[in-house]
Amino acid sequence: MPDDRTRAPAHSPVLDPAGRSDQPPLYQRLADRLRSDIAAGLHPVGAALPTESDLCERHSVSRHTVREALRRLVDLGLIERRQGAGSRVIAASPPVAYVHTIRSLSELFSYTRDTQLEVTGKELIALEAADAALMRWPAGTRWLRIDGTRWTADRSEKVCHVVIFAHARFAGVLEEVASEAGPIHALIEARSGERVAEAIQEISAAPMPGDSAKVLGTRAGAPGLRIVRRYLDASGGPMMVAVNWHLPDSFAYTIRLRRDEDGSG
């Protein structure tokens, strides 16, 4: 039986479902709490986690929330789950610095909510050929370029170097972006009235450019993981494009797929 001293309060402020609208989803907050408990040794490697029912009672959350939180810990490589045997801790910390799981557009957006962007530069530019090819948009068109470093929520690890290209029509609403909190796409939506209808993401290996290498502490031309996200409006036009550069051994991307109801594929 778990020691009562390790039991979380029934109504933990961290898991308060009536929290701010910009907070991560409840299952992510529960996953973060459990991850912290594991790191602190409250659930040591080899030990079983409390049952789903016990976690529901401790944190006043639904079974669905608990299961989603436990899936996050599986994706992080912290626990393993076996039917009929519950969940067991297999590592005190993730094998890579940052793991992101995606199954929907909202979970793609959670990546920017669950990390912090430190803006280091901003200027209105005309697209050069290399950036235009990457963005699949004509060279010479005007965009607002925003450079920055993305950190984990506690600012203990650099997640990536990021270059964001926002369409020039949003330059006015992003004038003070360096001092603003929250995801840039959310600022654009809130202040322009336009909404992101679709996001296209491409992941590839490529030689790391010099500015990204300097931020991440490696050499220019070293192998890098490049993630390009294109945020489109309802007409299919680009609103912003984010180019993220990661060290290949510090980031993992998990895509969870389920069988279609008709069983095809």
> Is 265 a member of any domain?
no
Q: Is residue 117 domain-shared with residue 220, that is, in the same domain? A: yes
> Is 15 a member of any domain?
yes
> Is 263 a member of any domain?
no
> Is 57 a member of any domain?
yes
Q: Is residue 146 domain-shared with residue 17, that is, in the same domain? A: no
Q: Is residue 144 domain-shared with residue 200, that is, in the same domain? A: yes
Q: Is residue 77 domain-shared with residue 110, that is, in the same domain? A: no
Q: According to the model, what pLDDT value does residue 249 have?
A: 79
Last residue of a domain, one of 43, 67, 89: 89
> Is 205 a member of any domain?
yes
Q: What are phi and psi of 174, to 5 degrees?
A: -110, 20
Q: Is residue 34 domain-shared with residue 74, that is, in the same domain? A: yes
**Mapped to the 3 state alphabet, what secondary structure does the chain carry?**
CCCHHHCCCCCCHHHCCCCCCCCCCHHHHHHHHHHHHHHCCCCCCCCECCCHHHHHHHHCCCHHHHHHHHHHHHHCCCEEEECCCEEEECCCCCCCCEEEEECCHHHHHHHHHCEEEEEEEEEEEECCHHHHHHHCCCCCCEEEEEEEEEEECCCCCEEEEEEEEEEHHHCCCCCCHHHCCCCHHHHHHHHHCCCCCEEEEEEEEEECCHHHHHHHCCCCCCEEEEEEEEEECCCCCEEEEEEEEECCCCEEEEECCCCCCCCCC
Q: According to the model, what pLDDT value does residue 248 have?
A: 84
Q: Is residue 41 domain-shared with residue 141, that is, in the same domain? A: no
Q: Is residue 241 domain-shared with residue 110, that is, in the same domain? A: yes
Q: What is the CATH number of the domain that holds 59?
A: 1.10.10.10
Contact residues for 237 (Cβ-Cβ < 8 A; gap 6+): none
Q: According to the model, what pLDDT value does residue 7 have?
A: 43
Q: Is residue 130 domain-shared with residue 30, that is, in the same domain? A: no
Q: Is residue 125 domain-shared with residue 181, that is, in the same domain? A: yes
pLDDT (tens, 9 = 90+) of the chain, 265 residues, equals 444 334 444 444 446 555 444 567 888 889 889 988 998 899 999 899 999 999 999 999 999 999 989 988 887 788 888 877 789 998 887 765 545 455 555 555 555 566 788 999 999 999 999 889 888 889 999 999 999 999 887 788 888 999 999 999 999 999 988 888 778 888 899 999 999 888 888 888 999 999 999 999 999 999 999 989 888 988 888 899 999 999 987 777 666 666 655 555 5
Q: Inter-axis angle of helices 63-75 and 52-59, to 10 degrees?
A: 110
For the chain, the maximum distance between any two Cα atoms, rounded to a whole number of angstroms, is 66
Q: What is the CATH number of the domain that holds 176?
A: 3.40.1410.10
Q: Is residue 78 domain-shared with residue 176, that is, in the same domain? A: no
Q: According to the model, what pLDDT value does residue 95 have?
A: 63
Q: Is residue 151 domain-shared with residue 206, that is, in the same domain? A: yes
> Is 246 a member of any domain?
yes
Reference 232, options 95, 108, 49; nearest CA is 108
Residue 4 CB coordination number (10 Å): 6
Domain count, the chain: 2
Q: Is residue 183 domain-shared with residue 232, that is, in the same domain? A: yes
Identify the domain containing residue 231 by its residue range: 98-254
Last residue of a domain, one of 89, 116, 150: 89
Q: What is the DSSP letter of 13?
A: G
